[in-house]
Amino acid sequence: MESSRKKRAIFSDYVVAYLDVLGQKEKLNNLKKLRTNEHEYKKFIDIISQTYVVVRELREWLKRSIKWSCQVTYGLIIDGKLEISEPQKSNMRSLSESDYQFSFFSDSIAVTSPYYDSNAKPLTQNVFALLVSLSAAMISSLANRAPVRGSVEVGKGFEWPDGGVYGPIMIDVYELESQIALYPRIVIGNTLNGYICDWVKKPKDISIDCVENNIWQSMIYTDKDGMPTLDYLGQAFFQIAEPHSHIKENIRLGWEFVNNEYDRLKNSQKPQMALKYSLLREYYLSRLEIWDMK
């Protein structure tokens, strides 16, 4: 019992994704009001569907998308789309959703995974599967009219005994999400982006060689502000998700939502919000042709 209480803390490297569901504060404040008639009660139920329900569904969707992305990533090997060695295949076979831990606080979600294996090699398969799952989650959130803003980065932290990470990495991902992302997108931290650039240049030093198919290079694009950003509608995710018809349907629903929000906000008293949806709309327009939706 004594030894379990004094379990040694390990300061290590983790890849962390941090997501925040946008627009929740104002909606949650509306739940404080008393319902005095049937119309107000119906409005109350509608607000619940836009707050508690969408956050709960995003939590569950992220867990399911991690499982799905692990299966899909391994499927790329089975189908011969990733040319990798037998040791690399062995690493991929061990990849599972259990490699990821979730932390929840209100409408914020953190997903963490170890960055290095026991041989001090980067667990690139974990990073790749995480980016795939975040792409699916981003598409789903917009389809459900619950836009998400987030970040992914690598850094130092302590792992909590009950899951999750505490340390400088959490400051980094929070600041990237709250101060840099600015509109519904997922920005990639400079450290992780630098590592990915190195993996592309030196594929033999990593556990998965994705260079031949340019998968790493097309999972990330440089946004207008110069920030590396998850290309969740890009060519790489299209290659992965093309057989799954529900994803294309979610993209169509997300595109409708983005257009409706832009039209609603462009003539309103919220020019900053209109600008954000203008940027999001521009991104969709630049990628719809990939999905044969233009």
The CA-CA-CA angle for residues 101, 128, 276, to 5°, reads: 85
Helix (H) / strand (E) element for 4: namely helix 2-5
Residue of higher predicted confidence among 97 and 34: 34
Q: What is the Cα–Cα distance from 136 to 139, expressed in whole angstroms?
A: 5
Residue 243 sits at φ, ψ, to 5 deg, of: -70, -10
CB atoms within 10 A of CB 57: 15
Residue 73: the pLDDT is: 64
Pair 167, 155: CB distance under 8 Å = yes
Domains of the chain: 10-241 (3.30.70.1230)
Q: What is the pLDDT of residues 232-258, one digit of tens each?
A: 999 889 988 876 788 999 999 999 999
Q: Which amino acid is at 20?
A: D
The band of 11, judged by pLDDT with boundaries at 50, 70 and 90, is confident
Strands (DSSP E) along 34-147, which ranges?
Answer: 101-105, 108-114
Conformational region of residue 166, where left means phi above 0, alpha means psi within -120 to 50, and beta covers everything else: beta
